[in-house]
Structure 1
Amino acid sequence: MSFHSMWAELLPVGRSSASGGYRRFAWTDADADCRAWFEDQARARGLAHEVDRNGNQWAWLGDPAARDAVVTGSHLDSVPDGGAFDGPLGVVSAFAALDELRGRDARLTRPLAIVNFGDEEGARFGLACVGSRLTAGQLTRAQAHLLTDGEGVTLPRAMEAAGYDPDAIGPDPERLARIGAFVELHVEQGRALDLSGDRVGLASAIWPHGRWRFDFRGEANHAGTTRLADRHDPMLSYAETVLAARREAELAGAVATFGKVAVEPNGVNAVPSLVRGWLDSRAEDQTRLDTVVGGIEKAARSHADAHGIDLDVVRESFTPVVEFDHALRDELARILGTDTDLTVPVLGTGAGHDAGILSGSIPTAMLFVRNPTGVSHSPAESASEDDCVAGVLALADVLEGLACR
């Protein structure tokens, strides 16, 4: 099956007719359909399909017990109304690259696997890369069991409803010990390749990044009868903090975004009692990130004090800077520089990935495919057919260079 036919088959799954974006959230019907598609692709190629204790899917060619396996893949879930390429491009390209290798009559000397990591985006339970974090021991079973979605459904309950055992989740060092290298192909989430005119790029590092929850607690009251001077309105402190985030990010050359907010009691004619906002911030290095988040929190506390608001700030997740394995990155650069006519620039990224989570346990690397709009986490996310094919061929060259030596 070609890249194009696989892409067309997966494209409708979990797509919203209203927005044109995707709602493939963990342990939902759309997620189950994506998992069924992955299993079908594995079976069609004679690969051994398995689901690990954390719900990640694997398709094996060769004996995984032989160890030193070369693994590729990504994820199939999405953010709310996300684009088609973020995650799925890496999985579809992995199967297409295997087909390309077989077309070349390449002889593997190492086991090869394709993986679909579960709940990478964290759209449902608020924590990114749950599947890979659990596998790498960066998230404990107890911590995972506390995760709850917006409807009050816990992760264990959602897993059970989908037919999986939540009591089995946890670190999987034996599985990681099988893997000698993991290479994740991903659509670029930015315009570096578009600006340089290159179709494929190689990742150098992932910026340090995290998520912080700001809880502004005020006093609920009547919107029509309460004097402005008598109000303790947390919405004002929240709004001023959003503006402060933009200013601090601009000063530091970083990014900071309040992209999610919850309001109580959430009535048109009521002064809120609680405004809860989630901050996502990322920077090229730790010092800049600390400066940005520290500046935002300082501004938030100042505005809260001015309006008689109580403020709690909770860091919900954090990932330090990830330098991809230098030896593996250099090997990929050598393979692509020798065996293809591609120019492959090396670039950093502000987006988190499963490859970044696994980098502390196994050698990892990433390839990026050009995104002409630079837009991601949106239906406007895109990549041309020619660039997608270039990505498949680059991935096939990399897999051949690593697994057929």
Structure 2
Amino acid sequence: MPETAALLAAIADTGRDPVRGGYSRPVFATAERDLLEWYLAELGRRGLEGETDRNGIVWAWWNPAGAPLRDAVVTGSHLDSVPGGGAFDGPLGVASALRALDLLRERGTEPARPLGLAVFPEEEGSRFGVACLGSRLLTGAIAPERALALTDPDGTTFADAARGAGLDPAGFGRDDEALARIGCFVELHVEQGRGLVDLDAPVAVASSVIGHGRWRFTVHGQGNHAGTTLLADRHDPLLVAALVVAAAREVAAAHPGTRATVGRLNPVPGGANVIASRVDLWLDVRHPEDAVTAAVVAEVSRRAAELATVEGCTVDVREESLSPTVDFDVALFRRLSGVLPGAPLLATGAGHDAGVLAERVPTAMLFTRNPTGVSHSPEEFCTDADAERGSVALADVLADLLA
């Protein structure tokens, strides 16, 4: 078995979800903490020591020349997952970073700059609702007070969950000292679409991350008895929510290239024989042009207000996260393309820590082929051979950057 695949095989049973299928590895939960223990052990086998910073990011450094920890080349990804996600979203980048380090050593590489390996927490935002939370805190893209007040579906705050994981909530926030160490950041990730399948190529260089955001719609109605309340007497927020989901699809279809998704909807109190009193739904909107994203959200919000009025309900809309379209650093992008001349260039509609870091440091990404073209699902896949090809490509890029 190729080495990258062997690393992934060691965690193949961690966080399996018997109900949804795939993997559920929310931040600070048992499965994610078990993955971090595996990662720290793998670092130890390579003579490296992992250190968790005040924002929950795990760093390790390969620096045989003893150079000052600045202008470093950094690579890595995340270990958390969406509910019922695939095996490769995040962990492939982490395993590939370890394998790339092994390849550099096998080749006798003598780095002129430090190499950093990083694992970022809550990249998916599956537990606390804001994606790339670790990198947002690091860069100052989110205020620590807002982050600490975020709650998961059980009502646990991010502050309490972090405290339970051994972190000090008072330390969260922008970290200029950590950022000053990073000369550039290169993230490898499994492709989350079928660009490489259609191009018949194992590895691509990313050109950009499409702008995206997440908005919470809260529809307020009248909770009541399902058997005694006539239809004409109802103020049903779940009916409004259902119509908003349909409206989002219709509005998005009128703006070519838009992706609009409602993947989570929570009725309160949630009883089978109860008319809900409140419904929360989350709208995810993405488009290469940020103005189009804003227009789509505005139109869906307008329609939601109209639909709520008809049903005798009200609706509130709150932005939870917003990341404008990111074009990766041109010089770094060209350098990667020079090292990997046969690799196609791809834009991605998925968000990544590299996209958040791009505001503060030069960043780039590599994608490894996913033959199913499916992600955030148990059907996500990467062959053992392609996983190894991705690690080799990452090692080639790192070797060039470390020279």
Q: TM-score, with normalisation over the residues of structure 2?
A: 0.96
Task: Find the counterpart in structure 1 of residue 388 from structure 2.
Answer: 389
Task: Find the counterpart in structure 1 of residue 171 from structure 2.
Answer: 168
- Distance 1:64-1:248 versus aligned 2 partners, 3 A rule: farther
- Native 8 Å contact 1:69 1:110 kept in 2: yes
CA-atom RMSD in angstroms: 1.4
Structure 1: 5+ residue stretches without partners: 338-342
2:209 to 186, 202, 206: 206
Task: Return the offset for 1:296.
Answer: 1.1
User: How do 1:219-368 and structure 2 match up within 5 A?
Assistant: 219-253=222-256, 254-337=258-341, 343-368=342-367
Task: Find the counterpart in structure 2 of residue 101 from structure 1.
Answer: 104
2:399 and 2:147 mapped to 1: Cα distance? 37
Paired residue secondary structure (1:367): strand
Task: Return the offset for 1:240.
Answer: 1.0
- Native 8 Å contact 2:214 2:320 kept in 1: yes
One-letter code aligned to 2:274: A
Task: Find the counterpart in structure 2 of residue 148 from structure 1.
Answer: 151
Task: Return the offset for 1:64.
Answer: 6.7
Task: Find the counterpart in structure 2 of residue 377 from structure 1.
Answer: 376
2:350 and 2:356 mapped to 1: Cα distance? 12
Paired residue secondary structure (1:365): strand
**4+ long deviations beyond 6 Å:** none
- Distance 1:384-1:316 versus aligned 2 partners, 3 A rule: same
- Native 8 Å contact 2:40 2:49 kept in 1: no
Structure 2: 5+ residue stretches without partners: none
Paired residue secondary structure (2:50): strand
Once the two structures are superposed, what CA deviation does each residue of 1:15-60 show, in whole Å capped at 9, x if it has no partner? 2244431121111121211111111111111123211111111110
2:240 and 2:178 mapped to 1: Cα distance? 47
Task: Find the counterpart in structure 2 of residue 12 from structure 1.
Answer: 13
- Native 8 Å contact 1:252 1:291 kept in 2: no
Task: Find the counterpart in structure 2 of residue 159 from structure 1.
Answer: 162
> What percent of counterpart residues are identical?
49
Task: Return the offset for 1:269.
Answer: 1.8
Task: Find the counterpart in structure 2 of residue 67 from structure 1.
Answer: 70
- Distance 1:252-1:95 versus aligned 2 partners, 3 A rule: same
Once the two structures are superposed, what CA deviation does each residue of 1:51-106 show, in whole Å capped at 9, x if it has no partner? 11111111100147341100001001111111100000000000101111111111
- Native 8 Å contact 2:3 2:388 kept in 1: no
One-letter code aligned to 2:288: E
One-letter code aligned to 2:44: R
Task: Find the counterpart in structure 2 of residue 398 from structure 1.
Answer: 397
- Distance 1:267-1:4 versus aligned 2 partners, 3 A rule: closer
Task: Return the offset for 1:303.
Answer: 1.1
- Native 8 Å contact 2:237 2:279 kept in 1: yes
Task: Report whether the alignment pairs 1:196 with 2:196.
Answer: no
Task: Return the offset for 1:239.
Answer: 1.0
- Native 8 Å contact 1:48 1:61 kept in 2: no
One-letter code aligned to 2:50: H
One-letter code aligned to 1:196: L
1:367 and 1:120 mapped to 2: Cα distance? 17
Once the two structures are superposed, what CA deviation does each residue of 1:278-298 show, in whole Å capped at 9, x if it has no partner? 111111211221222122112
One-letter code aligned to 2:92: L
Task: Return the offset for 1:2.
Answer: 2.4
- Native 8 Å contact 1:189 1:375 kept in 2: yes
Once the two structures are superposed, what CA deviation does each residue of 1:351-378 show, in whole Å capped at 9, x if it has no partner? 1100001000100000001111111111
Task: Find the counterpart in structure 2 of residue 216 from structure 1.
Answer: 219
Task: Find the counterpart in structure 2 of residue 340 from structure 1.
Answer: none
Mean Cα displacement is larger for which, 323-332 or 19-28? 19-28
2:127 and 2:193 mapped to 1: Cα distance? 24
- Native 8 Å contact 1:211 1:315 kept in 2: yes
Paired residue secondary structure (2:59): strand
- Distance 1:72-1:240 versus aligned 2 partners, 3 A rule: same
